[in-house]
Every structure is written in C-alpha cells, then in structure tokens.
Structure 1
C-alpha cells in the first residue's frame, strides 16, 4: 500500500502484517514478504512470534526444515529456544544474544523450547528474520555463529537503547559476519524519547514490536505490527508517547540488482536452484540434524 500526500512525504509504504497460525496457540505477524513489499534491502522475511504464554508441558516446536541462499536469525525478547542444525551446532537462544546461521548451499535446523522452559511453561516473544545472500555468495558453505550478550554492540542514552544485531549503524559495527551492507537493530524508546533514523542505507524500515511510535511530520501514530518503509535519503525522527515505552526493529540495506525467488524456506536468484532444493528435500538428500528423526515436509507434500 503506497502512501501519497504531503503529510507522509518521508514514508514509502505502511505494511500491515497478517496473522499466521504456527500451532499450539502460537501466532505470528508476518511483515515480510507481503503483497505490498517483497524485500527491504536484503531482508526477505520477518516474522513476529508471540507474545505467548505456554502452560507447563508445552512450548515452541519448529521441527527440522531446510534452508538455502540466506542467513537466518531468531531475536528473542522473552523465552528460551534451543537451536540444533545439521552442522552439529546445539545452542540456546536467549534474549540479548545473537545466533546467526548462514544457510548458503544448504542447511537443516530445528528450534524448540528448552527442556527447562517446556517443563515449567513460560513466555515467548521474538522475531525471526531472513537475509538473502548476494548472488556470488548464495552457495557458500553453511555456517553457524553465536554471540553472547556482552559481544553485541549497544548504546543507552537519553531514554534510547539501541542494540545492533547485525551490520552497521550509529557508529557501531556488529561482529556478526554478513555478506552485504545492512542493518538489523532493536530500538527501545522510553517515555517521550526520540531517535533519528539516518540515511545510512538505501532501503530502511521500522517494525513496531510493541507500543506505539510517532514519526516527525506524520499525522498518525504507528502501532504494533506496523512496518513503516522509509523513502531513500529521508531522515525521520521517531518519538515514544509520553508515559509509555515502545520497542522497534530497524532493518535495511542495499537492494540487490537481481530479484529473489522465495519458495517456503528456500531463497535464490535462480528458479532452477529452488526446484533443485525442493527435489533434494523431497528425496531426503539434505543432511540430517543429529539426534532428530522428524521433519517438516514440503508444503505441497503435506496432504499426501
């Protein structure tokens, strides 16, 4: 939905995120891809998980599934998830940490509630994002990297907490290895605090995780699950309402010269590569996640 008019001249679009059912009472808001916007810089996927409170004995379960041509990150705000993959990595995902998985030529992984959180029940709130790899790097060897909370760059000043998950912004550079110029960051604004979004990247967007946010020069207030796409070169100021805080995600980067094709969990600049990945998963030619036997079939195969 493109926005036109003098009061919205710095914004390119506002994407309203539909609700997706992930099972066991867990819903997500899917901001990307959408009919209004397919990509923001290299980002091809953004899912907002929860919030959800699981009863004892229940928890998040994403069975083994494959990826190609992308890097994936799950950013948790509440809860704990265990990541397992076909590289042999077993790693807890906790708030404040970064787990960055580069799928490249192909990887399989699962994400499930930790035994501790499943036994006791508890909250889950987070975001999952996919970053498409540049064409020359789509077939790199898969890799997994974990960064503790103390390794993640953060600025706290004047009511603004800025956490840089990946890329560069605001004078910070993340230790996460990426293959393109990008930014993925969390911004928390306390009562009345302001943050200026600078034109450091060609394409940028702000996703409202919780609360509300005002944008300088705009007549409306933006709320949870709004994806605010900013015009290239525009500088905008975000402001939290008085007596309330808001949590936002900043995402963006340089757009690719080639379009990206997305089918299920596969991303590629080549349709033929997508077809090959589908056949490889159907014939079980992807590597297995050690210790896990179940898997998610291709969408078209689930009713078979």
Structure 2
C-alpha cells in the first residue's frame, strides 16, 4: 500500500555479476525506466572479501552516459582510457563521462586484497543529454571533503550532484540532477519539498524507512509523486539516497554497458568493440587502460 506522495515502490532484483558478486538492481525497471537523468541504479554489498580475494571487473566500454560510484565501505581501484588511475573510498565520488566512448576497469586495490575487505556502495548511470551524448570522454574524482555536508532533521546529508537545500555540488553535469546521500546516526526526520526536483525518488540502502507514511524496506526505491511533498522518518542506522532531477530529453536505449538515444550509436559501438579486440586495440576506436590486458567480450561472444 503506497501513500498519496508515492507513485511506485521498486523492489531490488538480485543480479549475479560473476564470481558470486551479487547486486540489487533497481533501475531500469519496466514501469520506471528513469528518474530524472538516472537510468541505471545498482546497490552492491555489503560483501566480504577474504584475504587474497577481491572484485575484478575487467575493462569494458561505455557510451552515452556518466557513471557515478559512491561507497559506504571499502575501496575500488579505477582505471580508464583517459589516463585515470585512482582509488575511491567512502564519501568520495567518481564521475566518469563516457561520451563517445571510454573503457574502464574496477578492481580491489592490492592493499585491501591482501588484508581482506568489506565492499558496500552504489553504482549509478546518468544519461547524457542528446547534445552531449557523443562528447569527448572525461573523468573527475571528487574527494570526500569537496562535497557539501549538511544536517537534515538530525540526519547527515552529503550532496553528490546538483543542488539541494541551498547547497550546490562541485560535480558538473549539463542537465538538472538531484543526488544526495543521507544517513541517520540517530532517529531523524525531514521533509522533501515538492519542488526539490521535477522527478524524485528515495532509495533505502539500509532500513526500513518511513516515507510519506509507507514503510519502505531496505533494498527498495520509492518513486515520489510529482508536485507532492514527502515526509521521511529515518530510524537510527538507516541510509538513503535521494535521486532524480529534470525529466530527460526523450527515452534512452540500453544494451549491455551502452546507452544512447539512437540505436545506431549502440550498434556502431558494439561493432567497434569487437573490431578493437580483433585488432589488438591498435589504431581502433577503443583501447585498454594502461597495464590492463583483459577485457569483457560482448555477452553473446562470451
């Protein structure tokens, strides 16, 4: 049963990404393909890696989107084909703009692999507006202390992207976006204004949480009704992500790791990924990050 302030509650669907590493997939959903520019939303962990084990997401391509990585626990070593080589830790944001094509890998850093580690975080894809979906790729790391932090009714809020409650994130994005991480060390409560963003959703990363009178369990997203304010009551220890923004400039197609407004852009990227591997990444559209020698083939080629 949902309240007058909630249009839809999406329960996370478990997906195995290989080697037993599971995620809860929220978006895209058949009844809700996007919320604002956010087109893909995965919650991974908490997962325990024993000493010697770790996460190894081999190099793979993206187009037409920006990937946003945010961690609650653990660390991920990111490498990409614009020369980035950086470890992300809790509270920071990795913002990778794929544009007309980028390749990256995500692995457990050597120190954490040796010691063992808990990994827990959110991976989001943000669709690029049509005027920017074939822009040059780029990567920006935003350290924890560069992101605005403020209080919301006793909860701690960190602004990951966009504007909220009078604060502005340093993350640059050419479309209206609203993305806030909120955790409650003690019981907390606050109101989400109707005009906080055109499209708004609340994801419960640790809960349950009372959203507009509905108890939303951990691993679920409440899509809020446009034009309706919503009261959020967070018990001690809960965590949520406020996510959304301006309605996107048209639908998007998703195929594997590729996003575009035009299917021909995806088909060309698929062909070029195959051709790049066949030609050993020499003189081709796609290459591999420095010191990487593996890659993920297209699903039908695996």
TM range (shorter): over 0.9
1:36 CA drift (Å): 2.4
TM-score (normalizing by structure 1): 0.93
Q: Could you give the per-residue CA deviations for residues 99-148 of structure 1, whole angstroms, max 9, x where no partner exists? A: 11000010000000000010111100000000000000101110111111
Taking the TM superposition and a 5 Å limit, the aligned residue runs for 1:248-263 are 248-263=240-255
Structure 1 window deviating more from structure 2 (194-203 vs 49-58): it is 194-203
TM score, norm. by length of structure 2: 0.94
Structure 2 residue 179 is matched with structure 1 residue 221: no
Partner of 2:280: none
* RMSD over aligned Cα atoms: 1.2
In the TM superposition, residue 158 of structure 1 has moved relative to its aligned partner by 4.3
- Give the aligned partner of residue 133 of structure 1: 128
**CA 1:238–1:57 in structure 2 vs 1: closer, same or farther (change >3 Å)?**
same
Contact 2:62 2:257 in 1 (8 A): yes
Runs of 4+ in 1 over 6 A off after TM superposition: none
1:291 correspondence with 2:287: no
In 2, Cα distance between equivalents of 1:299 and 1:185: 33
Deviations 1:72-120 (A, max 9, x none): 0110110011000011110111001111100001000000000001011
Aligned positions of 1:116-155 closer than 5 A: 116-155=111-150
Q: In the alignment, is residue 77 of structure 1 matched against residue 72 of structure 2? A: yes
User: What SS is found at the alignment partner of 1:239?
Assistant: strand
TM superposition shift of 1:245: 2.3
TM superposition shift of 1:255: 1.2
| Equivalent pair of 1:190/1:240 in contact (CA under 8 Å) | no
Q: Secondary structure at the match of 1:23?
A: coil
Q: 2:41 aligns with which of 25, 43, 46?
A: 46
Paired positions, count: 293
Per-residue CA deviation, residues 200-247 of structure 1 (Å, 9 max, x unaligned), is 21111000001211123x2x4111111100011111010023xx3210
2:207 and 2:238 in contact (8 A); partners too: yes
Distance of 1:273 and 1:163 partners within structure 2:
35
Counterpart contact for 2:130–2:249, Cα < 8 Å = no
Q: Counterpart of 1:281?
A: 273
**1:270 to 2:265 alignment:** no
In structure 2, the gaps of 5 or more residues are: 277-283
**1:89 maps to what in 2?**
84
The secondary structure found in structure 1 opposite 2:250 is coil
Match for residue 115 of structure 1 among 110, 125, 128:
110
1:25 Cα deviation after fit: 2.9
Partner of 1:231: 225
Is it true that 1:185 corresponds to 2:177 in the alignment?
no
CA displacement at 1:157 relative to structure 2: 5.4
